[in-house]
A and B are shown apart, each in its own frame.
Chain A
Amino acid sequence: MSSLARKAVAMLEQAYADNGVESPRLAAARMTWTGTSLGIAGVPLLVGAGEIDEIIETPAVTAIPGTKPWVLGVAAYMGGLLPIISGDVLFRRRPYAGRVRDFCMVIRRPGFYFGITLSDVERDMRFPLEDRDMEYVVDSDFAGFTLGGFHEGKRFLAILDVDRLVADSELVSASASVAVSHEGMSYE
């Protein structure tokens, strides 16, 4: 009896040895890129975590005379003034008269604190870092402010480099380049 039991146990052991599946090995922790998916001027973009101060609904703005066209105005926000920039005009460099942009992202950098309008706000997303595509050709208006991107389905999400945007000479000066004084132009 015992021999039979031992034989059965041996056969069971052999069967497990033959048919057993190896335990999965723990994969090495993958480096992921985390950011927020949004859109500016209809172009889907990614903004890395920590580069956006917050996303707010576009507040009512007060236009500021003598500023460049992409400056929508100044909004009162959380007890202070927040300049609101039109992302459409800033990047496309032409007037925009389309749908009202409901949201804008607040960017805070040393010496910079402004909100830029968004055409779309999606959600936070994670991508494997190794999937980052640095060669993909993005929209020419955004090519100078992006740094690679990720493929998500059929679309390509370019990563907006806020530091490059802030360093752009166009954004440095918000005043109109040619000051036109209307004083004394009256024929009277």
Chain B
Amino acid sequence: MSKVEVMFVAAVRRVRSGLVALACLAPVSYAPLALAQGDVQSSSAAFLYLLVPLVLAIGAALYLLVIQRRRAGLMASGVSQINSALQQIGAGDLTVRVPEDNTEVTAISRQINTCAAAQLGLVESIQAPFELSVDEINRMGICARGLVDKGKELTRSVDESITAATEMVRASEDIKAATAEAARTSDRNCRQVAQGYELTKDMSKASVNVRESVQETSKSAKRQGELIQSVTAAAEYIQALNTKISVVAINTRIEAEKAGEYGRPFLGIAEAIADLLREAGEEGRKIISEVRTLQNMSAENLASMENTVGTVVTILEYIDRLDSSLEEINSGSAAISSIIRSVDEAAGQSAVSALHMNSSMTQIRERNMEIGKYSESTRLGAGRLQRTMRDASDSLGRFRLGTHRAAAEARPVSAEDLERIAVAPRVYREADMSAMERADRVAATV
């Protein structure tokens, strides 16, 4: 109990004792007046008047003494209870209550209980938002960590995009080089097609000449075949004449044999004619055979010429097709040249776009790195805030608010959570580490 409270209790006792004494002395003050006036009856009465108040005063004094002692005991008990309760409240147990049945300290007990209840409500009203704040700060830490991770992933993606854009620029340059080469090749093809076109014209003229020559030759061959036919007929006629001469020679020999000795000269003549006929017959057969061979060859030549004419006609058709194909190729080459030019322009525009995109990506990367720095700062701030909240939670945990509620709700943030928040769960590249180092320095300035 404090000194103020002790002084307060003593003052109250003194005031109460004075009031009781004044109440007892009131009849006694009347008796001396009666004795001074000399009246026996009045003296007896006065004695009576003195005795009775004295008795009454003594009784009252005893009563007051008993009452005083009883009240003192109650007062001591109440003070003891109040002291105990105040000690528990001072230790942080706001659930403790002072009994209010002690009439001596009822008001004080009620005030203390009211004050403790008010403090309990205040602490509870502070603890609920505090817990929400702890949860939100934990979420903020997780979000900050995820933000840092995402920022690094975004930086890496932007780096890859920059690399891809660079490759795209290089590819566009390659495409431009290839299209330039293709354009040159297409021009060469156009020139060669033009040469081929001229060649087809020459071939067409030459084929027409060949066809005319072959047709003339074919006519000559036909005439030659007719001559060979007539020669064959003449040879066959000569062969028939030879046969007739042979018959004559045979008949001459027969007749010479019939004539006997006189026919011997005719026999010699017949034999001579037979010899000549044999030679003539052999030569005639050879001539006929060779003429027939010649006739067959002429027919074959004629057929070959006709085939040649047909082939030349086919070649002319092919030349026409080739001519049309060359024209199509020429038009196709022109279209290809146009397409190549379009591709070249598109590649140039693509290269410019890629350069722009590369620049934009670089800026995005720089902004993202700055965001990463801020996110890292946020993460560090969230970590520090969590540590502060842990300390505050430890302090709040000292208040005893209830039987099971305080242990469950006043759980402090564990160090593992702080470590999980504080340490990034991945291995970063050297560029990322250097960015993180720079981010720390920037966080200090922020």
Instruction: Say whether chain A's binding surface is mostly helix, strand, loop, or mixed.
Output: strand
Provided the pairs A54-B251, A55-B251 are in contact, do residues A124 and B257 lie with their beta carbons within 8 angstroms? no
The interface-forming segment of B14-22, B88-96, B269-277 is B269-277
CB-CB under 8 A from B250, the residues of chain A are 36, 52, 54-55, 121, 123-124
Decide if B271 touches A121 in the complex (CB within 8 Å): no
Chain A CB within 10 A, most for which of B246, B250, B253, B271:
B250
Cross-chain contact A53 with B246 (CB below 8 angstroms): no
Partner of A124, one of B243, B274, B281: B274
Closest B residue to A51 using CB positions: B254
Residues of A within 8 Å of B277, CB to CB, are 123
How far is B240's CA from A57's CA once the two chains are assembled, in angstroms?
A: 12
Contact A123-B254, Cβ < 8 Å, known A55-B247, A103-B247: no
Is B278 close to A, CB under 8 A?
Answer: yes
A79 in the interface (beta carbon within 8 A) = no
For residue B279, give the distance in angstroms from its CB to the closest CB of chain A.
Answer: 10
| A window 102-150: CB within 8 A of B | 102-103, 121-124
**Which residue of A49, A56, A102, A121 is within 8 Å of B257 (Cβ)?**
A49
The answer to whether B251 touches A123 (Cβ under 8 A) is no
| Bound-state Cα–Cα, A11 to B364, Å | 133
Q: Are B257 and A123 in contact (CB under 8 A)?
A: no
Near B by CB (< 8 A), chain A positions 33-87 give 36, 49-50, 52-57
Q: In the complex, what residues of A have CB within 8 A of residue B253's CB?
A: 49, 124
- Bound together, the chains give a CA A42 to CA B377 distance in angstroms of 128
Residues of A in contact with B, size category = 10 to 19
Are A122 and B246 neighbours in the complex by a CB distance under 8 Å?
A: yes
Q: How far is the CA of A113 from the CA of B10 in the complex (A)?
A: 206
Count contacts on B: residues with CB < 8 A to the other chain: 18
B254 and A121 within 8 A (CB): no
B249 contacts A53, C-beta separation under 8 Å: no
Q: Give which listed residue, A53, A102, A103, A122, contacts B254 with CB less than 8 A.
A: A53
Q: Are B254 and A52 in contact, CB atoms less than 8 angstroms apart?
A: yes
Give chain A residues whose Cβ lies under 8 Å from the Cβ of B270.
Answer: 124
Contacts of A57 in B (CB 8 A): 244, 247
Instruction: Give the distance to chain B from A91, nearest Cβ to Cβ, in Å.
Output: 21
- Name the B residues within 8 Å of A54 (CB-CB): 250-251, 254-255
In the complex, residue of chain A having the shortest beta-carbon distance to the beta carbon of B248:
A55
Which of B243, B254, B281 has most chain A Cβ within 10 Å? B254
Q: How far is it, in angstroms, between the C-alpha of A123 and the C-alpha of B246 when the chains are bound?
A: 6
Smallest CB gap from A103: residue in B: B247
Most A CB contacts (10 A, CB to CB) among B246, B257, B270 go to B246
Residues in B with CB closer than 8 Å to A53 are: 254
Nearest A residue (CB) for B244: A57
CB distance from A106 to the nearest CB of B (A): 10
User: For A52, what are the chain B residues with a Cβ–Cβ distance below 8 Å?
Assistant: 250, 254
State in angstroms the CA–CA spacing of A50 and B250 once bound together. Answer: 11
A-B contact pairs, 16 of them (CB 8 A): A49-B253, A49-B257, A50-B254, A50-B257, A52-B250, A54-B251, A57-B244, A102-B243, A103-B243, A121-B243, A121-B247, A122-B246, A123-B274, A123-B278, A124-B253, A124-B270
B residues near A (Cβ < 8 Å) are 240, 243-244, 246-247, 249-251, 253-255, 257, 270-271, 274, 277-278, 281
Apart from the given pairs A54-B255, A123-B278, A124-B270, 5 other A-B contacts in the complex at a CB distance below 8 Å: A49-B257, A50-B257, A53-B254, A54-B254, A55-B251
